[in-house]
Amino acid sequence: MVETINSAIWSDVRNIYLACLEKQNNVSGSVMVQYFGELSPDFINGLTDNVEEMMVSNGDSKKVIKRVFSILIEGLQNVRLHGEKDEQGNQFSFLFIVKCKNNYKIIMGNLINHEDKVIAESYLDKINLMSTEELKSYYLENLDNSFFSSKGGAGLGFLTMRMKSEQKLSYSFDKLNESLCFFTVEITLMRD
């Protein structure tokens, strides 16, 4: 019975990944990075080197490269540290980096508990409504009076991604079973 549930979760997550890939292939841009699986420290280290080389060859400024890296590191840490695992201990996730004419899109996804979905959705809605000044103030307030999640995070990852991108974070949740759903976040960053 457990194998059937895990197989169904893997299959559902893979379908979400493939739908996202198809959507990105239909936009006016090019998919620079696509990945499906469990994130390892070795993968993340190799990824950062490759992305930097690609961005330099694209002629991006150091400012843009630094902002993309900040968003990538925050997002990948969120996935590795806060992503849930299935009953067999698998942590399904995916990552896309898409280069468009005027921007980069970074899209990440991971498993999340239904209880955490409500918290994440509320938090993302809250920071998406904030102005630049409100974000800065809220960031400093959270540094001083940090709340900690059940996995030890202080909630600064999404806030940092929102500040660095200077854009609202788009997100979605796909229900997988009674306890898990798949969380996808899309961050857009201008290439100015």
Position 29 scores a pLDDT of 81
Q: Looking at residues 164-181, what average pLDDT do you find?
A: 95
Rounded Cα distance between 26 and 37, Å, is: 23
Beta strands 170-175 and 180-190: pairing type? antiparallel
pLDDT of residue 141: 85
- Per residue in 142-161, pLDDT (tens digit) is 876 555 455 555 568 899 99
Q: What is the pTM of this model?
A: 0.89
Alpha helices in the chain (DSSP H): 2-25, 41-57, 62-82, 114-128, 132-144, 156-165
Percent of the chain with pLDDT over 70: 90
Q: Looking at the predicted structure, is the pLDDT value of residue 176 above 80?
A: yes
The DSSP line for 55-109 is HHHTT--HHHHHHHHHHHHHHHHHHHHH----TTS---EEEEEEEESSEEEEEEE
Phi-psi region of 131 (alpha: psi -120 to 50; beta: other; left: phi over 0): beta
Neighbouring-strand partners of residue 68: none
CATH topology of domain 2-190: Heat Shock Protein 90 (3.30.565)
CA angle 186, 81, 16 (to 5 degrees): 40
Task: List the domain boundaries for the chain.
Answer: 2-190
DSSP β-bridge partners for residue 188: 105
Q: Is the pLDDT of residue 27 over 70?
A: yes
pLDDT reading at 173 higher than 80: yes
Assign 96 a pLDDT band (cuts: 50, 70, 90).
Answer: very high
Backbone φ, ψ for residue 111 (5° rounding)? -70, 145
pLDDT for res 3: 43
Mean pLDDT on 116-140: 94
Angle, CA 133 vertex, CA 127 and CA 139 arms, to 5°: 55
Neighbours of 132 (CB within 10 A): 10
Q: What is the pLDDT of residue 86?
A: 87
Quick one: pLDDT at residue 2? 40
Task: Quote the pLDDT of residue 6.
Answer: 47
pLDDT of residue 60: 93
Task: Please give the angle made by the CA atoms of 10, 16 and 17, to the nearest 5 degrees.
Answer: 85
Give the three-class secondary structure for 113.
strand
Name the residue among 138, 129, 183 with its Cα closest to residue 160.
Answer: 138
* pLDDT score for 18: 95
